Amino acid sequence: MARTIGILTAGGDSPGLNAAIRAVGKAAQRAHDMHVIGFRDGFQGLMQNRFERLDGDSLSGILTKGGTVLGTSRLKVHRVDMGDGDRIDMRPMIQRVVDQHDLAAIVCLGGGGTMKNALRLHTVGIPVVTLPKTIDNDVYGTDTTFGFDTALGIATEAIDRLHSTAHSHHRIMVVETMGHNTGWLTLGAGLAGGADAILVPEIPYSVDSIAESILQRKAAGSSFSIVAVAEGAMSGDVRTEHDRLKDIIDGDDDDAAEEAEAEIERLHQSQSRSTEHVADALADLTGLEARVTILGHVQRGGTPSAVDRVLATQLGTAAADSIAQDQVGVMIAMRDGAATPVPLEEVAGRRKSVPLDHPWIESARRLGVCLGD
């Protein structure tokens, strides 16, 4: 009897998800004679057994679509909030769904949170395979994630467009990009768009040093500046507190972790207008006008780039192959151009930050781009 694969998409949506769903589904059917069902709205739909059959027709015409045709959600499978303060481990319920469909595996398309959920399922014997998607490019163990290239293009185009207006008005243009707690997107778009200062979470910044670099540009005859700020960028002292809380969250004490999560949430809220604060401080310190552009979710929307479509397709077909060979409990990573299964234990709970000696950082420094330090 033909075996069945389940697919779901979880976490923030990202360009390339539909290309990956299509690749998993078509390869499973055509190369391995398997059936495919899609669970709606991520792990939520999985535990509620909300699904649709993904046959030839439903997989056609979605390659170029943005978002995810399956819908998505964010939750932790072992601690689902029931709305009354109670948190329930949903893995037994998920196990029943897996048994009911006799699933060979569930392919989970997602970022860091999804890797953690997938490992939680794997540890109780539920067969999973994951694919790394996120515009943040921060999934550990893979060279790249699908969605990143598209977002990089969108952010770069925005910076290009800000250049001409910054120049015309002799202004500081502060542009905030996504990227969660890593600076891949901001650094890439900042370099591609010729930003004068690039602030990433990996390098705590000082507003004084950014202002000084803008004043040096002004003294050299350039009366405008582009400052690209990652949403997770932090000043030195905020960073120290953040790292302290993060260590508690990543530790073994669940109660302390819960408290630290609440505290870090408050810290993030207090930081939510930090890009505006940077702009205000730069205007004060330099005497130039400053304006803020927050790119936000536009970076995640729309059709995937060719690079993301190819990446999602390569990883998706490899996921189907992996399941056909009964190789589960892995993320299909992209390594040196090859789709490579990596045990989930090596990936989940870790983040791929920008190394401080990364060639992009080195190039930025050689160009005289201010990195805030």
Which positions lie near ligand F6P, rule CB under 6 A? 12, 111, 134-136, 178-180, 231, 300
> Nearer Cβ to ligand F6P, position 283 or 294?
294
Structure token digits, residue 37: 């069902």
Q: Which is nearer to ligand F6P, 202 or 231 (CB)?
A: 231
Do residues 350 and 181 touch, judged by C-beta distance below 8 A?
Answer: no
Q: At its nearest, how many Å lie between ligand F6P and the CB of residue 111?
A: 5
Give the closest residue to 230 by CA, choosing from 124, 138, 126: 138
Task: Write the CA distances from 57 to 5, 9, 26, integer angstroms.
Answer: 17, 19, 10
Q: Give how far Cα 169 sits from Cα of 96, 157, 222, 283, 291, Å.
A: 62, 19, 12, 14, 11
Instruction: Choose, from 13, 41, 136, 308, the residue flagged as catalytic.
Output: 136
Both structure tokens of 327: 């190789």
- 25 versus 113: smaller Cβ distance to ligand F6P: 113
197, burial (CB in 10 Å: exposed 0-12, middle 13-18, buried 19+): buried
Q: Backbone dihedral region of 275: left (phi > 0), alpha (psi from -120 to 50 degrees) or beta?
A: alpha
Nearer to ligand F6P, 35 or 180 (CB): 180
User: Judged by CB, which is closer to ligand F6P: 117, or 134?
Assistant: 134
Residue with tokens 């002292």: 237
For the question of residue 136 being annotated catalytic, the response is yes
**89 DSSP assignment:** -
Query: Catalytic residue positions?
Result: 136
